Amino acid sequence: MIEFWAGVALLVAIALWSIVRPLLRPKPRAQIVRSRENIAFYRNQLRDVEDEFKSGALSAEQRDQAKREIEARLLEDVDTTDDSRPLAARPARATAYALLALIPLGAFAVYLVVGAPAALDPAFVAANDPAHAVDPKELEAMVERLAEKVKQEPDNVEGWVMLARSYKHFGRFDEAARAYAHVVARVDANADLFADYADVLAMAQGQTLRGEPEKLIAKALEVDPNNLKALALAGSAEFEKKNYAGAAKYWERMRPLVPADSEQAKAIDANVAEARGLAGLGTPEPTRAAAAPAASRQGRVTGIVKLAPELASKVQPTDAVFVYARAATGPRMPLAIVRKQARDLPLAFTLDDTSAMTPQMTLSKHEQVVIAARVSKKAGATPEPGDLEGMSTPVRNTATDVNVVIDTEIR
């Protein structure tokens, strides 16, 4: 990341010098008039390029190329002298100094609005560009460097949030929870942060929402009663307590907040129907999930994970167990993942789009997947020697009763 910003600074300095240099020397008045006309023309061209980029007609790369060409033509015209040798005007030093201050600030502001600051997050890069994904160990090293940086900057809220999300990405839920605790203590009440904190805290304490996670969910809904993640977690908390009617009420509140024909809406309807059925309330109306054809309910795999008897002596009850799905061909990043403990084996699992690591990489986007399970001594996202694993053959993303046997020790 340091190299990135150093490169940006160098390019900005070069661009500034190219623009400011002509302003620091005398310029014919006739040329000034003509230059102003040209600048107005090129400014309109730049505005058109930005409009086309925002409308989707141009990619980011095409936009940048077009802007470079326009700026090159502008500089060419500005430096062109007039043959009539008119009287010279004073150098525009005030303008030059203003540009020196405003251009870097303006460029940074525009980047924050139309750019992709998240692309500096290695987890984001790996998820969106698998061909250029960073090695997991290198990613973990970057996370450690980020941790050291934010420890020196306790009020860097954005850095702490990125650190918490990175820890969650690697299954380091205890550390993610501590990072979120640091953040919520330094910002105004924020429903999204409360919900994210509750989620990782539940994972850290053995996948239960009871206790502090429930309090955080309540705070999130107090700030924003329509926060989708908080409503989903609140329903899960009630379901965990076997208050199925209460779970159904929370989940029903999510229905108007999502597109009616979306996969998320179908999943909500299925959860509501299950909760109402367990509560003895019956299904109020034919749900979208029930009415949807089987082909539209992709992105849900169920099955069971078992440990081979010969490896039982190498496992402790508190060892972490990761069950995940990845594409049968293509990127190896998990499409969905759940974390349990070895004491839960054999365990029944459900993997779907709600357990996806990123919205861009989901089960429903890959028809053929492989289901894998790994026992990790260090509870790390990267396989280590001594870990135990097993995986299925490729199955459809709607498969049921998938059997995975953990039968191999990683050497």
String of DSSP letters for 243-295: -HHHHHHHHHTTGGGS-TTSHHHHHHHHHHHHHHHHHT---SS--HHHHS-GG
What residue has token string 């069950």? 323
Contact 190, 166 (CB under 8 A): no
* Residue 37, pLDDT score: 55
pLDDT tens digit at each of 411 positions of the chain = 555 555 556 666 666 555 555 555 554 444 444 455 556 655 666 777 676 666 666 667 766 776 777 666 665 555 444 444 444 444 455 555 555 555 555 555 555 444 545 455 554 445 444 444 455 667 777 878 888 888 888 888 888 888 888 888 778 889 889 989 988 888 878 888 898 999 888 888 888 888 999 999 999 999 888 898 899 999 999 988 889 899 999 999 988 888 877 777 888 888 888 888 888 876 555 444 444 443 334 678 999 999 999 999 999 998 999 999 988 887 777 888 888 999 989 999 999 888 877 777 788 888 899 999 999 988 776 788 889 999 999 999 989 889 999 999 988
- Give the whole-angstrom CA distance, residue 73 versus residue 57: 23
Compute the CA torsion angle 360, 362, 126, 160 (nearest 10 deg): 80
Q: Quote the distance between the C-alpha of residue 72 and its chain's center.
A: 36
Q: Which domains does the chain have, with CATH numbers?
A: 2-117 (no CATH), 122-295 (1.25.40.10), 298-409 (2.60.40.1120)
**266 CB neighbour count, 10 Å cutoff:** 22
Alpha carbon 353 to its chain's center: 14
| Residue appearing with tokens 């160990």 | 137
Helix H or strand E encompassing 383 = none
Interatomic CA distance for residues 32 and 203, integer angstroms: 65
- Burial tier of 295 (Cβ tally within 10 Å: 0-12, 13-18, 19+): exposed
Contacts of 298 by beta carbon, 8 Å cutoff, 6+ apart:
363, 364, 367, 397, 398
Residues for the chain: how many in total?
411
Write down the pLDDT at residue 295: 37
3-state secondary structure 258-271: CCCCCHHHHHHHHH
Residue 133 has a pLDDT of 47
Residue 386 parent element (H or E): none
Contacts of 265 (CB under 8 A, 6+ apart): 255, 258, 259, 288
- Omega of the bond leading into 346 within 30 degrees of 0 (cis): yes
C-beta of residue 229 within 8 angstroms of C-beta of residue 195: yes
pLDDT at 216: 92
Match 């029903």 to its residue by tokens: 252
Are 318 and 343 contacting, i.e. CB atoms less than 8 angstroms apart? yes
Residue 169 CB: number of other CB atoms within 10 A? 24
The beta-carbon contacts of 55-61 under 8 Å, at least 24 apart in sequence, are 60/116
From start to end of 336-393, where are the E strands? 336-341, 347-352, 368-376, 388-391
Per the structure block, which two tokens stand in for 222?
Answer: 């107090």
Closest CA to 167 of 122, 209, 119, 125: 122
Structure tokens given for 48: 């058109």
Cα(236)–Cα(353) distance, integer angstroms: 16
Q: How far apart are CA 287 and CA 269, in angstroms?
A: 6
pLDDT of residue 41: 59
Which residues, other chains included, contact 92 with Cβ-Cβ below 8 Å and sequence gap of 6+?
A: 23, 24, 27
